[in-house]
Amino acid sequence: MTDSRPVLTMTGISKSFPGVRALHNVDFRLFPGEVHALMGENGAGKSTLIKVLTGVYGIDEGTITLGEEQVAFNGPMQASAAGVSTVYQEVNLCPNLSVAENIFIGREPRRFGAVRWGEVRRRARQLLARLDLDIDVTAPVASYSLAVQQMVAIARAIDVQARVLILDEPTSSLDAGEVEQLFRIMRQLRDEGIAILFVTHFLDQVYGMADRITVLRNGTLVGEYPTAELPQLALVEKMIGKELDVLEGIEEHSRRDLAALEGGTPFMEVSQLGRKGAVAPFSLTIHAGEVVGLAGLLGSGRTEVARLFFGADRADRGEVAVSGKPGGLRNPVQAIERGIGFCSENRRAEGIIPDLTVRENMILAMQASRGWLRPIPRRRQDELVEQYIKALSIRPANPDVPVRNLSGGNQQKVLLARWLITEPRLLILDEPTRGIDVGAKAEIQKLVVQLSDGGMAVLFISAELEEVLRLSHKVAVMRDREMVAQLNNDDTVNADRVMQTIASGSQREEADK
C-alpha cells in the first residue's frame, strides 16, 4: 500500500475444466509491500487463480500484467524467474532429495556446468537461518515434519528475487509457534517491498496479517476491501453469500448426557493398545452415539491412534473388542467389516483416487466390502451419489467429473460420503476440517452432531481445540505419543484446561472407568 501502482494486475480471468467453470471474469490487483488475503470457500477458485497466475494452467480468457508488461507464464519455473514465487497448500517438495537440493532444484549455482554443492549447502543454511530454522540441510526432506517441510518450501520461494510471493494455505499444517515464526518472516518480507498474496482459512490470521482482502465466490469476484473496513462477520457473509446462521446453530448443540451414553453398551473397547515407535499403549472406550475428541499438538500421536483403531497400522500389543466381541484389527478390511470408517488427514496420499470420478470415489469403500463380483447396480449408485452430493452440497454437483478437478474441501466431502455410504457404526475423522473454509467446516461439524444423534460413534481429531470441545462428549488428550488424559466434556472443561493438560501432561484423569 506504500506504492500507488500495482505490481501485479489480473483482468477478466476465466478458466474452465471439463464440467467445471473454475473462474469467471475475475480481476485481481496486488500492490508492492502489502499482504493481500485471497478469501473464499472451497471451490471458490482461489487455488485456480494462483495456478493460472503462475502458469500451471493456461488461461482461457483475460490478461495478467506484471509491472509494466503483459505476461503469460508457461510454468512455475518461468513465473519464479520473473519474480513470482509460490508455496502451495500441499507441500510440493521432492521427499527423497535433501533439503538443500530441494531449495535449489532447477537453479543450482554452477561453475563450468558443474553444480557447486558446497555453495548449495552453504546458501541453504543461510536461507534457513533467516527463517530461524537450524536443521541438517543434507538430510532428505522426508525425514522432517510437515511443518519443517513447509518452511523449506518457503525458503525456496523467498530465495528467488521475488517481487510477488504467493502463500497458498501456508499455515494449515503449522502449530501456533510456527505460525508466529512465519508471520514474522512475512512482515519482514513485506517491509522489504515484496507483495504477498496470502490464502488461508483462518480468519484470525487474515485480520492479523492482511492489509487488503479480495473475496471470491463460485469462481467470480465478490470484491476487494481494505481489511480495516471489512468486519469479520461481513467477510464471512461475502464468502458464503448468505446469512451466517449455520455457524451459530451448532454453537451449543444439546450435549447428550454422557452418563446415559456410557450406560449403553460400548461399541468399541481397546485396552493397552499400542505400537512401538508410534504410540504408547492406551485404553479407550467409545459408545454408540458418542463423539470422542482427540486433542493434542501436531505429532503428538493423534493420527497414530486413529490408524490403530482402523487397523491401518497393526498394533503390536493390546486388545480390541468391537460390539463386545474380541478380535484383532489386522487390516482395514476387518475394520470395515466391523462397521468402522476412517477419513485420513492426508487427503491426497491416503484419500482420493484422483483419476476416478466423484461417483467412483464415493462408492469405492462400499464396493470393496461387497467384493468385485457384486458390482453395485447403476441405479443404486445414482441414488447414493445423488443423495450425498445433495446432503453435503458437493460442488460441482456432477458425479462424473474426475475427483482431482474438485477443490480440496469438496474432495474432503467426497471422502466423507465414501464412508457415510457404508453406514459405519464408528467413523474416525482425522482432521476433517483442515484446509476447509468456514462454511464447509460448519457443515461438517453439524454433520458430526447429526450422525452422533443418530447413534453413530465418532472419533474426532482436530488441531483446533475449540472444534474438539464443541463436538465431543469426551476428550482424550495426547502428548508425546501418549494418551495422558481423558476428560468428560462438562462445564469444568474448557480450552484452557485442555491446553494445560497438553502442556503439563501431569493431570491424568481416567474419565472412562
Partner 1 sequence: MNNAKDRYRTILGHRLFWPVAVLVVMLLANTIYRPGFLSIEVNNGHLYGTPIDILRLSAPLILVALGMTLVISTGGIDLSVGSTCAISGAIACLYISQAPDQNNLVTVFTALAMALGVALVLGAWNGVLVSVIGIQPIIATLILMVAGRGLAQLVAEGQIITINSGPFRAIGLGHFLTLPLAIFIALGAALLVAALTRRTALGMIVESVGGNREASRLAGIRSARIVFLVYVVSAACAAVAGFMMTANVSSADGNNTGLWVELDAILAVVIGGTSLAGGRFYLSGSILGALIIQTLTTTVYAMNISPQTALLFKAVVVIAVCLIQAPAFRAKFRRRGRGTPPPATPSPQQQKQEVPA
What is the size of the binding site for partner 1 (CB under 8 A)? 37
Of the candidates 372, 454, 491, 492, which one interacts with partner 1 according to CB under 8 A?
372
Minimum distance from residue 414 beta carbon to partner 1 (Å): 12
Q: Is 407 exposed, middle or buried (0-12, 13-18, 19+ CB in 10 A)?
A: buried
Phi-psi region of 337 (alpha: psi -120 to 50; beta: other; left: phi over 0): alpha
The reply to whether omega before 396 is within 30° of 0 (cis) is: yes
Rank residues 235 and 415 by Cβ distance to partner 1 and give the closer one.
415
65: DSSP letter: E
Give the shortest CB-400-to-partner 1 separation in angstroms. 6
Kindly tell me which of 8 and 401 has the beta carbon lying closer to partner 1.
Answer: 401
State the minimum distance, in angstroms, from the CB of residue 207 to partner 1.
36
Q: Shortest Cβ distance from residue 342 to partner 1 (Å)?
A: 6
Site for partner 1, residues 404 to 423, rule: CB under 8 A: 418
Does position 400 bind partner 1 by CB under 8 A? yes
CB of 330 to partner 1, least distance (A): 12
Residue that is written with C-alpha cell 461481513 in the block: 234
Q: Which of 299, 317, 292 is nearest to 486 (CA)?
A: 292
CB of 140 to partner 1, least distance (A): 19
Which residues from 327-356 bind partner 1, rule CB under 8 A? 331-333, 336, 342, 344, 349-356
Q: Say how far residue 230 (Cα) sits from the centre of its chain.
A: 26
| Chain-centroid distance, C-alpha 233 | 23
Distance set, CA 468 to CA 294, 477, 489 (Å):
7, 11, 10
Q: Is 374 in the site for partner 1 (CB under 8 A)?
A: yes
Region of 95-103, 257-265, 369-377, 482-490 interacting with partner 1 (CB under 8 A):
369-377
Q: Is the Cβ of residue 98 or residue 303 nearer to partner 1 in the bound state?
A: 303
Contacts of range 481-487, beta carbons closer than 8 Å, 24 or more positions apart: 481/278, 481/279, 481/280, 481/300, 481/301, 481/304, 482/279, 482/280, 482/282, 482/301, 483/279, 483/280, 483/282, 483/284, 483/301, 483/305, 484/508, 485/509, 486/284, 486/510, 486/511, 486/512, 487/511
Minimal distance in Å, beta carbon 251 to partner 1? 33
Asked if 367 is part of the footprint of partner 1 (rule: CB under 8 A), the reply reads: yes
Of 342, 339, 360, 350, the residue nearest 422 (C-alpha): 339
Least Å from the CB of residue 52 to partner 1: 13
Q: Least CB distance from residue 11 to partner 1, whole Å?
A: 13
Closest CB to partner 1 among 346 and 393? Answer: 346
Using a 10 angstrom Cβ sphere, with 0-12 exposed, 13-18 middle and 19 or more buried, the burial of residue 69 is exposed
* Listed ranges 170-178, 233-241, 247-255, 326-334: which one lies at the site for partner 1 (CB under 8 A): 326-334
- Cβ-based nearer residue to partner 1, 422 or 489: 422
310 contacts partner 1 (rule: CB under 8 A): yes
Confirm or reject binding of residue 360 to partner 1 (CB under 8 A). yes
CA–CA distances in Å: residue 271 to residues 147, 194, 285, 303, 507: 32, 54, 8, 18, 20
Contact set for partner 1, span 88-117 (CB under 8 A): none
Other Cβ atoms closer than 10 A to 51: 18
Pick the closer one to partner 1 by CB: 435 or 439. Answer: 435
d(CA 48, CA 22) in angstroms, rounded, equals: 7
The label of the residue with cell 500484467 reads: 65
Q: Smallest distance from the beta carbon of 410 to partner 1, in angstroms?
A: 16
Taking the C-alpha atoms of residue 240 and residue 247, their distance in angstroms, rounded to an integer, is 11
* 313 part of the interface to partner 1, by CB under 8 A: no
Near partner 1 in 15-44, by CB under 8 A: 16-18
Q: Judged by CB, which is closer to partner 1: 185, or 340?
A: 340
- Nearest-approach distance from CB 348 to partner 1, in angstroms: 9
Residue 14: CB minimum distance to partner 1, A: 9
* Closer by beta carbon to partner 1, 261 or else 414: 414
**Using CB under 8 A, which of the segments 34-42, 55-63, 97-105, 247-255 binds partner 1?**
55-63
Is residue 365 within the footprint of partner 1 (CB under 8 A)? yes
Using the rule CB under 8 A, which residue among 143, 188, 323, 369 binds partner 1? 369
Nearest to 399 by CA among 428, 357, 427, 365: 357
CB atoms within 10 A of CB 228: 9
Question: Which positions touch partner 1 (CB under 8 A)?
Answer: 16-18, 58, 60-61, 310, 312, 331-333, 336, 342, 344, 349-356, 360, 364-365, 367-376, 400, 418
